[in-house]
Amino acid sequence: MIEIKNVSKWFGDFQVLVDIDEVVERGQKVVICGPSGSGKSTLLRCVNGLEPYQKGEIVVDGVSLSDPKTNLYKLREKIGMVFQRFELYPHLTVMRNITLAPMKVKKQSRPAAEKKAMALLERVGIPDKAAAYPANLSGGQQQRVAIARALAMEPDCMMFDEPTSALDPEMIQEVLEVMIGLAKDGMTMLVVTHEMGFAREVADEIIFMDAGRIVERGSGDEFFKNPQSQRTKDFLGQILK
Amino acid sequence: MFDAVFTNLPYLLGGFLINVQLAAFALAGGLFLGALVGLGRISKRPWVYHPVTVYVNLLRNIPLILVIFWVYFVMPIFTGRSMDPFISAAVSFVVFEATYFGEIFRAGFQTISRDLVSAAYSTGLTYRQTAAYILVPIAFRRMLPSLITQSIITFQDTSLAYVIGLQEMVRRTTIVDSIEVRSIQLYSFVAILFFVICFIGSRISLHYEEKSRKAKVL
């Protein structure tokens, strides 16, 4: 459902993405890892049309992002995104955070949107927080609301940009459990993370990026057991220590 | 000792009401236009950013009184009919205050992280919806103390409209004074009235400042 063909991107003179090729099939879970600054987050932002790229092509559900006729707003409805620092709307309650897009973009009625939002809050395990403001939630709770907010648009694919790296250790698991649940339900997922336990459990494919390139790719087991490049071995050695 | 004031109280307070009405128009229009100006000032589109920036810099470097004269005397040349002083003053205040409110909104928008905007876009919200439901409400709340302070200045400045003959309180006071010749008590009364309103306003601003410092809701 997502085809990334030979994509390159520059910030000024600096090349952040170098000839990236990747295909994510419907229902597939792909984990991207790599050192910071390797272009992982930029790649996700490109797939969602939040950043332009200068070369190559990204096609989502048969629609090319570089085609000037493509309605990026429409396209983004299909791809949910979760950010490192949650990015909940601080002036709105949890409920309004979740119902805003369904009501404004999909023109759902308030009761319908709220019913759906409550079901999603149940799913992420915090139905009692509907009336709270984001500032009154823990990091783990905020991230689960962020996941519920993305799911409320019923996306075909979910992208996660280091969803647990801003969390205290004891809150990481509660977010990962929600993500594993999503994976088991068959959601297409593109996840930037360093949580290798999660990667091992759900990933159909693991990509290792460094300096804007895909250095290595493999299925979950072979990636860990038998990394090919020295760069990958060094990286795995460090994070699995 | 305030005999001249009491005799003419309805007339003077009627003038004060005009100040209040003018301020209400100036604030409503100035905040609305100011939010748009602020959005223009953070726009990445050169054809939006540059004209808005020229407008802001131009108006902020001209005395308000000149803007009031300019609108009152120059606008009729283009529109072909003379303008009512109140409408003329309201237009002047809106276009003038919008530049100040615009710069406050711009500062507010700049406190909002790029990823928060990305999060809004990633749920399918359009630019307009993101501006209306996310950017402007957050900037408004975060900049509330500055917005209130600027509103107080606006309220004080409404008395400048007397130069185009608007029958606001200061204008009416000069009229009463020319008949009664009680300058000290008349102008003291006007000063007290402005002071009380503006002092209350500044206290409200302070209240919100402390509130936002305590509760880190935003």
Task: Report the chain B residue with the minimal C-alpha distance to residue A137.
Answer: B217
Question: Is A239 a residue whose pLDDT tops 80?
Answer: no
> Which of B122, B140, B216, B218 is the mutation pick for testing A, counting most A CBs within 10 A?
B122
The residue behind tokens 């002047």 is B92
DSSP B127-178: HHHHIIIIIHHHHHHHTHHHHHHHHHHHHHHGGGGGGGT---HHHHHHHHHH
Judge whether B77 is closer than 8 Å to chain A, CB to CB. no
| ipTM passes above 0.90 | yes
Q: What pLDDT does residue A35 have?
A: 87
- Rounded distance, CA A192 to CA A36, Å? 11
> CB A90 to CB B115 under 8 A?
no
> CB B123 to CB A153 under 8 A?
yes
DSSP A56-93: EEEEETTEETTSTT--HHHHHTTEEEE-TT----TTS-
CB A162 within 8 A of CB A131: no
Longest Cα–Cα distance of chain B, Å, equals 68
Q: What pLDDT does residue A58 have?
A: 94
Residues A64-72: what's their mean pLDDT?
87
Q: Which of A198, A73, A5 is nearest to B120 (CA)?
A: A73
Residue contacts between A and B (CB atoms, under 8 Å):
77
Question: Considering chain B, what is the average pLDDT of its residues?
Answer: 92
Q: What pLDDT does residue B216 have?
A: 56
Strands (E) across chain A are located at 2-11, 14-24, 29-33, 55-60, 63-64, 79-82, 157-161, 188-192, 205-210, 213-218
What's the whole-model pTM score?
A: 0.90
Residues B54-68: what's their mean pLDDT?
95
Q: Which of A193, A177, A116, A111 is nearest to A151 (CA)?
A: A116
Phi (first) and psi of residue A167, to 5 degrees: -100, 150
- Rounded distance, CA B182 to CA B184, Å? 6
CB atoms within 10 A of CB A11: 10
> CB B118 to CB A73 under 8 A?
no
Residues A23-32: what's their mean pLDDT?
93
Q: Is A205 helix (H, G, I), strand (E, B) or coil?
A: strand
Q: What pLDDT does residue B1 have?
A: 74
Which residues on A lie below 8 Å from B45 (Cβ)? none
Q: Which of A81, A68, A69 is nearest to A2 (CA)?
A: A81
Query: DSSP class of residue A195?
Result: -
Nearest by CB to residue B118, choosing from A50, A74, A90, is A50
Q: What pLDDT does residue B69 have?
A: 93
